Amino acid sequence: MRTICIEALRVHASVGILEHELRSRQQLLITIELQQPNAPMLPAGDDVHHVLDYRQLREIAKAESEGEHVNMLETLAGRIATRLLALPTVGRVRVRVVKPNIFPDCDGVAVEVTSPPPAPPAPPAPQESS
């Protein structure tokens, strides 16, 4: 198994339900943890073609967050997670979106979504006897 993480990707998004949030973009921090259950510990070659390219993960998060307005952090996190799960070899994802400095007495508010674990393989079909 291999796990890939992107920590605190800084983006500017149109997110929220308050008047000032509807008028201007605000900084968010996005963390992605992605598991590849069947990936070998050592890639077949020391080449990007043998691994999942981190740039693709970053671009998915940026495209979703810098696109159209969303009201809820939950919606944004879920959209990012859904797109990441569609990538080949990905078995599970965790996406955390932080809206920093939303309240004066805390560092930020975060929403985290985690995909369910992949379904176990189906048992082999019973063999017919002759």
**CA dist., res. 58 & res. 98, Å (int):** 16
Tokens at 28, concatenated: 């968010």
> Which is it for the CA torsion 59, 93, 84, 12, positive or negative?
negative
User: What is the CATH T-level fold of the domain 2-114, as seen in this structure?
Assistant: GTP Cyclohydrolase I, domain 2 (3.30.1130)
Residues 45 and 59: their CA atoms lie apart, in Å, by: 24
Give the model confidence (pLDDT) of 85-122 as tens digits: 999 999 999 999 999 989 999 999 999 999 987 667 77
Would strands 92-100 and 108-114 be described as parallel, antiparallel, or unpaired?
antiparallel
Q: Is the pTM of this model over 0.85?
A: yes
Max CA separation in the chain (angstroms): 75
Residue 6 in contact with residue 30, Cβ under 8 Å? yes
Residues 21-31 pLDDT 10s = 999 999 999 99
| CA distance linking residue 106 with residue 109, whole number of Å | 8
